[in-house]
Structure 1
Amino acid sequence: MHRSAAGAAAHPALLPLLGRTPVARIHADLPHPHPGFWAKLECLGAGGMKARAAMSMLTGARGRGELRPGAPVVESTSGTMGIGLAFAGQALGHPVILVGDRELEPSMRQLLRAYGARLELVDRPAAQGGWQAARIARLHEVLARTEGAYWPDQYNNPDNPAGYRSMAAELIGQLDHLDVLVCSVGTGGHSAGLVGPLRRRWPRLKVIGVDSVGSAIFGQPARPRLMRGLGSSIHPRNVRHGVFDEVHWVGPAEAVDACRRLARGSFVSGGWSTGAVALVSAWAARAEPGAVVATVFPDGPHRYLGTVYDDDFCHAHGLTATAPATRPLEIPHPRAAEAFGWARCRAVVDPVGARAEGALAPHVLAPGGAA
């Protein structure tokens, strides 16, 4: 253990625990039989998947002199990045202040506090931008009153995707070949960080983005979202729209069903993002026989025992009222229809960089139904 100039304890012995996660072959029916796909189990690395990005952002800022030794780190989180920053803060000797919201699960609040993070919680979403915008507004208040504080800005910081180069190197060493990569998309960090190195190794690699219904990232209208960890009400600059060959939007009922099938049939599982990418990965393995498909399971199931794996929660939110979709509905363009269940689109657009092509069509795609 070492102490920084400001007196905060640093624990560099934690650093070898970062990353180095295994891949597992997944064969659980999702919901149909499929040839199988590979999943990178980030839950088995200290701090989870986003510890990679957190370490990259803090070490980058320290190298540039933007983050002084022992200075506080302040960030907005729906949970997973908070765990990663708690790890990085302990390793490097920085106190961590996290801005969350009232939707943050009690178990996650307890865990973040146990790791030494200080929490600031907002109690209502912003009229524009929802919980994310409300958290960012509070974050700026915290920065203004906290001397020397540093904001990594995970949504726009290029050091976020840079943190996943180590994961790309691990995948290249673990897989003989890769045809299809399936990535959940929130801040855009891990997809942006993985695609470059993986396409240099396998130039014909197909990349499928997986978003949440109600997310604005790929041109759908922003709506309140039950799922956390993927999707966004704002437009992170770290999302590289041009690297994706297609995008799927997945609803909470499909994600819950996939998570539970994973737990029963493969033992490894996780939360909303894990269920969503598993569903799409199984679909891709069926749709392209013989293709080698891989994805990333960002975390494990423990955070979600009161939501994804809780029968009362799922019943209260209508997630068990109807059978989840078993295949995606096709839409020609993100603005052609609003998806409320699993949908697929091969026209990938940057809703900020491209000019609007007219208002959203006045019809929706309901879960399991036609437009």
Structure 2
Amino acid sequence: MTAPFAEVTAAEEIPKIIRLDRNLYAASFSLMKLIPARYILRRAVDDGRIGPETLIAETTSGTFGLALAMQAAQLGRRLVLVSDPAIDDRLYRRLTDLGAVVDRVRTKAAVGGYQRARLDRLAEVRTEHPDSFCPEQYSNPDNPRSYALVAELLVEALGQIDCLVGPVGSGGSMCGTVGFVRSLHPHCTAVGVDTQRSVLFGHPDGHRGLRGLGNSLLPANLNHRVFDQVHWCSEPVAYRATRELHQRHSLFKGPTSGAAYRVAHWWARNNPDAVTVVMLPDDGYRYQDTVYDDRWLQTAGHLSGRQPVEPEPRHDVRDASGEWTNFAWGRRSLDDVLAALR
């Protein structure tokens, strides 16, 4: 009898559910962005939006681009990724080896930084190629919709889920997963993890060294009313937590996962009767020369200073100071939160 084998992207998108502590579990992904990439592209092929000659074009400087490149290769479609100088050489080589064209913008837009400049360039690419399809991870409702898969796996594995902690970038993973979990467990607490000088939850826009979370623009897929609490983590906090996750649990992850782990570990410890799940989005291979290199951490100043053991509460989301801070969001819109501060 022939075994039913899945294609590589279908197999790779499934997270491992790992117990980290008595009441803390991880949904550990090798590449979480495969979930929306595969879902969006497959649906577009099925309904005819992507034809045999259609160019797929998107803006990204991270793992969504890798997920698209993997899926485009499986589908046999051309792919252009509009990126910026933040894309690292390891990722660039992997993308181009998969057949993607990487178009890097070199100058920031006056408002919106590189992300705005990338969107402008993306519009030009699509004008140059009328037969094109853009996955639009920031605004396509198929992004959060795709995470029904993750919610189903978590509920099936754990039953009760009292708190879900995860990084926020496009808004898809947390908003989608929490939304589906709450259809069965309405009480589930959602804790979003961001970084300083990201506009997602009210901070003023500015330089962010921590990649993989945060944003310079507000994505349409970010539903602020999902979140009960928001945490902002600095680079040193995230990097040290990433190493701790590896050293304590042998999980080789990136700093986005490290930031989420730091917050989830604190939450689980302070809520011992709650079943807490943390989303760990990607592996650490891109960071072997940085986060996993003690000399790099020391030279960059990420090992100096005391590591906070808990967040500093903030009463104003516009305050971007501090190494690790949090805010009681209370499932409100961004406008409601900002209006309450006036």
Mark yes or no: TM-score above 0.5: yes
Alignment of 1:215-230 (within 5 A): 215-230=198-213
Structure 1 residue corresponding to 2:18, chosen from 5, 15, 24: 24
Question: How many residues are treated as equivalent by the alignment?
Answer: 336
Structure 2 residue corresponding to 1:294, chosen from 277, 302, 306: 277
Tell me if structure 2 keeps the 8 A contact 1:271–1:299.
Answer: yes
Tell me if structure 2 keeps the 8 A contact 1:18–1:52.
Answer: no
Q: Secondary structure at the match of 1:339?
A: coil
When residues 262 and 15 of structure 1 are mapped into structure 2, their CA distance, relative to the original with a 3 A threshold, is closer
2:239 is aligned to 256
2:3 is aligned to none
Q: Secondary structure at the match of 1:140?
A: helix
What does the per-residue CA deviation read over 1:197-254, in whole Å, with 9 as the maximum and x for residues that have no partner?
2112222111101111111001111111001110001000101100110100111100
* C-alpha distance in 2 between matches for 1:89 and 1:206: 36
Cα displacement (A) at 1:354: 4.7
Cα displacement (A) at 1:146: 2.5
Tell me if structure 1 keeps the 8 A contact 2:85–2:106.
Answer: yes
Tell me if structure 1 keeps the 8 A contact 2:52–2:77.
Answer: yes
Cα displacement (A) at 1:359: 9.0
Tell me if structure 1 keeps the 8 A contact 2:9–2:70.
Answer: no
Tell me if structure 2 keeps the 8 A contact 1:73–1:150.
Answer: yes
* C-alpha distance in 2 between matches for 1:133 and 1:90: 27
Tell me if structure 2 keeps the 8 A contact 1:230–1:273.
Answer: yes
Structure 1 residue corresponding to 2:184, chosen from 192, 201, 204: 201
What does the per-residue CA deviation read over 1:67-126, in whole Å, with 9 as the maximum and x for residues that have no partner?
223411111112210111012212222211111111111111111112221111112322
Structure 2 residue corresponding to 1:38, chosen from 9, 25, 29: 25
Structure 2 residue corresponding to 1:326, chosen from 309, 327, 336: 309
More helix by share: 2
* C-alpha distance in 2 between matches for 1:19 and 1:357: 40
When residues 193 and 359 of structure 1 are mapped into structure 2, their CA distance, relative to the original with a 3 A threshold, is closer
Cα displacement (A) at 1:356: 5.1
Task: Give the alignment's TM-score, normalised by structure 1.
Answer: 0.85
Tell me if structure 1 keeps the 8 A contact 2:20–2:26.
Answer: yes
* C-alpha distance in 2 between matches for 1:20 and 1:156: 23
Task: Give the alignment's TM-score, normalised by structure 2.
Answer: 0.92
Q: Percent identity?
A: 33
2:8 is aligned to 14
Q: Secondary structure at the match of 1:182?
A: strand
Residue 344 (structure 1) aligned with residue 326 (structure 2): yes
2:124 is aligned to 141
Task: Tell me which amino acid in the other structure corresponds to 2:232.
Answer: W
When residues 210 and 98 of structure 1 are mapped into structure 2, their CA distance, relative to the original with a 3 A threshold, is same
Q: Secondary structure at the match of 2:27?
A: strand
Give the unaligned 5+ runs of structure 1.
1-11, 28-34, 361-371
Task: Tell me which amino acid in the other structure corresponds to 2:171.
Answer: G
